[in-house]
Structure formats: structure tokens, C-alpha cells
Structure 1
């Protein structure tokens, strides 16, 4: 397997690529959250009007980190040097986070303004929905969304906008397979792959061989909800965009709940999390193809370079083309210290807009809800998440207007049914913080 490590020598060309690719407004928004930060007695500055600034300062910070850490490894460590390494490491992490956020904003910009592409019928429906949220009036155009129980389904484009933004915020959803469904659940057949074969002579008997069997896994959605409120007076008098307000209330909460459930959900009214399918975990025996294989880090309480290389090469080549690391920022900070046998750092920052940081040449996905580096924790996943994990979306986000329960507030009870589970455990590996046995 060939691995390409991005070196400092490539920074100039890639920073020029970033300069051409990043709109100044997006860059300014990303930089506002990143710096200034005092590092080693200096104040790092970035000109938000210069799109090369972020890449240039990231490179400078990472070079300083490597120099300080190399000095520490030579036995010159003391309290001042330790603090220096920690501060630079935090700076590198902040820059990388800013670039990751920038990449997400660029992806959102490429998605475009969905409302601009709505048909006249969709615009009419959205207007009727807006009127219903404000006053409760039922208009003819709303009949497509009404149910016998009095609920109302949100406009299609509003539904799609929330789903698009959830994909940008929730890393597992972004990288997994997403299957919309229109029924109560989803069933998937699996072949147990036990077919037999053998060699025979020209006239020899052909005894019966083993026949493969089929197993079924159910993927059932749980219900995710939010219950926002506003006074009737505000709804009557305000000129705010009601749809936008509801979206801003729902998106971060739905994204937070999904991110947790897709990793560690127990399957009770929520998805089965991918970590629960790891060898030794609660659902290790659930899938007919077995559990997600564990690879030890090589140390009882730490990451090691050998552990990173081992997990990469433990994954079958058939699943390596789209393989990525999934880990949180604290684990990435530990990974920045690792070197290979030629004394090269395994972690490299991103030098181009739209590209993630890499570890041993493999893309790293910032996954906040992954466990930290600690004894016996699964600190990282490595593999093809699109092949591994299946998210099922019951089509439609439902909005129920309730002016009665909590007067003088009007409640907006919003629900989305979503489920998930592992569809192929063989395309993923789990890195466990443990010594090799």
C-alpha cells in the first residue's frame, strides 16, 4: 500500500491553491474563531484579507511544533519546554480546526441557496406553512401535508435544507451510507458466505457442497424530537423568518443527538452505534459477518506509531480506497507526536482547501464524540465508513403546532425518525489503547 506524506516543501503550491479557492468572506469567518493566540512570547496574526495567511501560519506553527518536540525528545525536556510544546500543539490544533470549519463552509456554499431553486408550487407551499406556524390557519395549499391526527409535514425544501446541514455537522452521517425509507423500517439480507467447493477428476462423482444461508438484519428508526417555543405575540408582531428560526433551533440539537447515537447508541429508540459492534462490545454478535476487528495500539495507555501502521495494514485492501481515521481532537493531539522509522512525523496538517489533515497519509475526520486516549478505550476507528455504517431516514420532518399546552407560548414539536447500524463490519477496524499480547 503506497502512502503519500505531505511535506513542508509542498506548502507553497498548496497555499496558492487555497488562495484561489477560498472566498474572502468565508476565510474571514473562519479566521475570526482561530486567532490571535499568544504562543512562545509571540502573537500570531492573520490578515483575513490574505487567503494565504491561514496556510502560512499553520505551516509555521507545525514547523515550530516539530522543532520543539524534537528538542524535547533529545532529552532536553523541562517545564518550560513542555509548556512550549503544549502551546504550539494547541495552536496547530486551532489552525487545523479553523481549516476544517472552512472546508465545511465551502461545502455548504457549494450546496447553494436551495430556496432559489424552488418551483412556484414549492414557494406557495412554504408560504402556507409559514402562515400556519404564525396563526394556525389551514390553507388549501397545506392539504398535501395534513394528516388525520392534525399534524403537518414541513415543506419539502425545508426538510431537505435541514438534512443537508445535518450532513455537514454530523461526521458519521457525512461519511456513512444514508438510505431514505418510506415505511416503518428497513430490512437487509446478508449471505453467510459458507458455500463449498472442491477439485474433482473428469469422471469422479460430484458430492454435494455446502449451501450459503441468508440472514436478515432489521434497521428500525427511532424518533428524534425538538420542542421549541415562542409567544403568540412574537409570532403576530415579528417580521422574522419563522422557517429560519425553526431551523436554527433544530439543527444543532439534532446534529448533537445524531453524532452521539451513531457512535454509541444502544438501539433503544435510537440507532445502534458503530462502537457497539466492536469485538467485546454490546452488539459484537449482532451482525452475521461478525464484529469489527480490534487492533491494539501497542502500549497500555498511549498511541504508538506502530499501532497506527498496524491498523492501516490490518484493513483488507478491498476496503482501503475510501478509508479514513475517525478520532477526536484530543487524540489528534497525541497523534501529532508520532514518528515513523525514518523519523518523519506521521501527522501532517492540511495544506489545501477541501482537504483534511492526514495520519500516515490517511485522511483524518474530526469526530468529537469518539473516546479519548486512555487504557482500554477505542480511541480511533479506521476504515470505509460508507461501506460500514447505514443511516436510515424516515422521509419527512414533522412540525406540530401546539398553542394549548403551555400558554402564552406556542410550542413547535418537531420530529424526525432516524435509525442506523453496521452493515459491513469487515470494512472497519477499531484502535484499542492496549499493549500487544
Structure 2
């Protein structure tokens, strides 16, 4: 294979693994091609040097006597000629023989350089976790606590020396339970993420720190979706489960329906209430206009206000979480929630994230394995504290 063919084969392997880690077979094929490429490049370099040795230097055997020679002004003459005519001449052609593009002509003297920056694509996730209650435990056994809803009962008036005629009721308790789902962030093929010793030692970046950060983001991304829409069986209960909803029946979101949603929540819970939905839904709300095309929600406590990170809607803070579906007409999508989110939902985390670094299992291949796992669960704890926002047909 020629150098060009080898380079094309190397690129094909990398392009074929777009969006995933290289397989062991791809790594082995890539490294073999690198060896072939190094051998071909070495052969070209040796032949170029030999050709340079065999090329006679013009005038090397002549001795200069008499007056000192005039300074060589060939470069200046060539440059002036080019400025006057726009045409290259023999001097320019000769001077251009030394170049970066050819290794033996000077390319070896120009080192490769790398910008000290790694560009990472970013995509928003999470948000709800910062607005709900979060607890941490040192172990992961089921965590139980009692609940009580006695709001339907009240006292009565009784006549003197007479038992009350009605109104009595016993206390009825319930129970909430938090478990501990184990989240894992593996590499390709659902095995630990494997990193070569060469990459760890030679990279211009902190590869181990990068691996830890990215694996942590993978777990956080999975949990963020479950805190919103988890099914409660194979994953945590999402905040969109276990509570009655507020229906939005219009084709688009209306100001009147937003106001009605606020008053679906008891005033006791509205003291610490917040909205939560995704950014696309916020965009729909921000574009509400009246019959004359004027923004219906303006920069006041009656509408939307605040900057990119502290928006409020009808005077209540907005928490953006991209795990919520976007508001759409004609379905029954749960697209957001409003109320005291901290009182309504709780997240349980067991200890901290645990990173397992294994340099032994694949030591023969010169690879270090990384596995990150975490245990956590979430559940609505007071479904009266908030209302889920629902599209209604």
C-alpha cells in the first residue's frame, strides 16, 4: 500500500466508529496500519536523503581569488522582478526548492503544534433536581416514612352534655418508600470504558479526568430523565406520576389557562411554588400576543421576566428541564408541572459516585478499564403540593 492508501484506511476506521468507542479488532487493525505507515515514511525519508547526498553542489570545486565577491542579491532581484511583472523567474523557482511541504526540503524543521483546548459538544439536561428535596444515605436499603392526609376532616359543634352528631373520623396513614436503583456508565459493548496506557501517558490533556467527567455526565443524564418521567418499576417514579393534572384544552397555551393552573394548587403550597417545563415550551409561552400582536406576557410580575437563568412566569420562578416533552396540541402529553416542587418530590442518593479503575484485567493489552456507578431513587412524596400540566384533546 502507498502512504496515501494507508492514510485513507486509517481515516476509514475512525469514520466507521463515529459516535462510539473503537472495538478491539478496529484498534488492532489501526495500530498495524500505523506500523506500515511509519515504515513507508521512513523509506521515503531515507531515499530523499540519499538523493540529496548524490546531488552535486554547483561551483563547489572553484576557488575564489582576488576581490571579495559581491553580496548575493538574488532574493532581492527575484522579489523586485515579481513585484514589477507578476511573473516568477528562475531565482524564485530556485529559492522555493526549500519548503515545508517536503520533509527533506525543510519540513523536518517545522514541528506540529496543538491548541491547548478540547472542544466538547454541550447539551442541556437536568434542572428539576435542583428544585426538589434531595437526601443522602450511607446505605441503600428501602427507606420508608409515613404519610397522612387529614385535610378532609374538621371539627364540629356539639351541644352541652351531648356527643357530636357527626364529623368524626380516624386518622388514616399511608407510606412512601425509596429504594436505590444502580446506575452504571459503561463503554462500548456494555463493558468498562477502555483507555490505552499510551493515550493516558502521552495525551496533551488530562484523559483520566475527562473520562471521569464524561461518565458522570452519562449517569446524570439518565437520572435527569427519570426524575421527570420515570415509570416507577424498572426506574424511579417521575414527578409526572401519582398526581392529578391541570388540563390545557386550547390548541396553544393561553394566558387564562396559565392563571387557572396557578390556582389549581392550594395557596399553602404556592408560597414556594415554581414552574417546570422544557425550553421549547417556554418559547411558546414567550410568544403569546393579544389581538393587536402585542406580547401578552411582558416584563412584569403579571408575565415573564428575568434573565436567561432566573426567569419567572406570573411571578413564580421557572425551572427548565429538557426531559419534559414539548407542549403539543391534540394529545394528552404531560408537559410540565407547577407547585411546591421541593415539598412534592424527593430524590435519594446513596453515598457518592463510585469510580472503579481497573489496570489489571487488560494489562496484557496495555489498557485501563473505567467503570462509574451510582445508586439513587426518586418518588413523589406529597402529590397535593403540585399539579402536572397536561394537554387535553
Range of TM-score over shorter length = 0.5 to 0.7
Q: Is the 8 A contact 2:334 2:390 kept in 1?
A: yes
What secondary structure, in the 3-state scheme, does the structure 1 residue paired with 2:287 have?
coil
Q: What is aligned with 1:253?
A: 218
- Distance in structure 1 (CA, Å) of the matches to 2:233 and 2:298: 38
Task: State the TM-score, normalized to the length of structure 2.
Answer: 0.57
Q: What is aligned with 2:325?
A: 371
What secondary structure, in the 3-state scheme, does the structure 1 residue paired with 2:232 have?
coil
For residues 424 and 347 of structure 1, do their structure 2 counterparts lie closer, same or farther at Cα, with a shift above 3 Å needed? Answer: farther
What secondary structure, in the 3-state scheme, does the structure 2 residue paired with 1:425 have?
coil
- Distance in structure 2 (CA, Å) of the matches to 1:243 and 1:198: 68
Q: What is aligned with 1:309?
A: 259
Q: Per-residue deviation at 1:344? A: 5.3
Q: Per-residue deviation at 1:187? A: 0.9
Q: What is aligned with 2:171?
A: 212
Q: What is aligned with 2:367?
A: 409
Q: Per-residue deviation at 1:392? A: 0.1
- Distance in structure 2 (CA, Å) of the matches to 1:238 and 1:333: 42
| Residues 243-282 of structure 1 aligned to structure 2 (within 5 Å) | 244-277=209-242
Q: Per-residue deviation at 1:311? A: 0.1
For residues 297 and 169 of structure 1, do their structure 2 counterparts lie closer, same or farther at Cα, with a shift above 3 Å needed? Answer: closer
175-184 or 400-409, which deviates more: 400-409
Q: Per-residue deviation at 1:315? A: 1.2
Q: 2:135 aligns with which of 179, 184, 188?
A: 179
Q: 2:180 aligns with which of 214, 218, 221?
A: 221
For residues 378 and 197 of structure 1, do their structure 2 counterparts lie closer, same or farther at Cα, with a shift above 3 Å needed? Answer: same
243-252 or 406-415, which deviates more: 243-252
- Deviation string 1:122-141 (CA, Å, 9 cap, x unpaired) is xxxxxxxxxxxxxxxxxxxx
Q: 2:296 aligns with which of 345, 357, 363?
A: 345
Aligned residues: 252
Task: State the TM-score, normalized to the length of structure 1.
Answer: 0.52
**1:198 corresponds to 2:149:** no
Q: Which has the higher helix share?
A: 1
| Residues 31-110 of structure 1 aligned to structure 2 (within 5 Å) | none
Q: What is aligned with 1:429?
A: 387
- Distance in structure 1 (CA, Å) of the matches to 2:291 and 2:216: 45
What secondary structure, in the 3-state scheme, does the structure 1 residue paired with 2:156 have?
coil
**1:188 corresponds to 2:145:** yes
Q: Per-residue deviation at 1:350? A: 4.7
Q: 1:358 aligns with which of 292, 303, 312?
A: 312
Q: 2:248 aligns with which of 277, 297, 322?
A: 297
What secondary structure, in the 3-state scheme, does the structure 2 residue paired with 1:400 have?
strand
Q: Per-residue deviation at 1:379? A: 2.1
- Distance in structure 2 (CA, Å) of the matches to 1:431 and 1:415: 33
Largest Rg, 1 or 2: 2
Q: Per-residue deviation at 1:215? A: 1.7
Q: 2:283 aligns with which of 320, 323, 333?
A: 333
What secondary structure, in the 3-state scheme, does the structure 1 residue paired with 2:223 have?
helix
What secondary structure, in the 3-state scheme, does the structure 1 residue paired with 2:327 have?
coil
For residues 213 and 351 of structure 1, do their structure 2 counterparts lie closer, same or farther at Cα, with a shift above 3 Å needed? Answer: closer
- Distance in structure 2 (CA, Å) of the matches to 1:417 and 1:298: 39
225-234 or 422-431, which deviates more: 225-234
Q: Per-residue deviation at 1:372? A: 1.3
- Distance in structure 1 (CA, Å) of the matches to 2:157 and 2:171: 19
For residues 347 and 218 of structure 1, do their structure 2 counterparts lie closer, same or farther at Cα, with a shift above 3 Å needed? Answer: farther
- Distance in structure 2 (CA, Å) of the matches to 1:403 and 1:249: 19
Unaligned regions of 5+ residues in structure 1, if any? Answer: 1-167, 278-291
Q: Per-residue deviation at 1:328? A: 1.2
- Distance in structure 2 (CA, Å) of the matches to 1:379 and 1:202: 54
375-384 or 242-251, which deviates more: 242-251
- Distance in structure 1 (CA, Å) of the matches to 2:138 and 2:165: 46
Unaligned regions of 5+ residues in structure 2, if any? Answer: 1-123, 187-192
- Distance in structure 2 (CA, Å) of the matches to 1:352 and 1:392: 31
Q: 1:320 aligns with which of 267, 270, 276?
A: 270
What secondary structure, in the 3-state scheme, does the structure 2 residue paired with 1:215 have?
strand
State the Cα RMSD in Å: 2.9
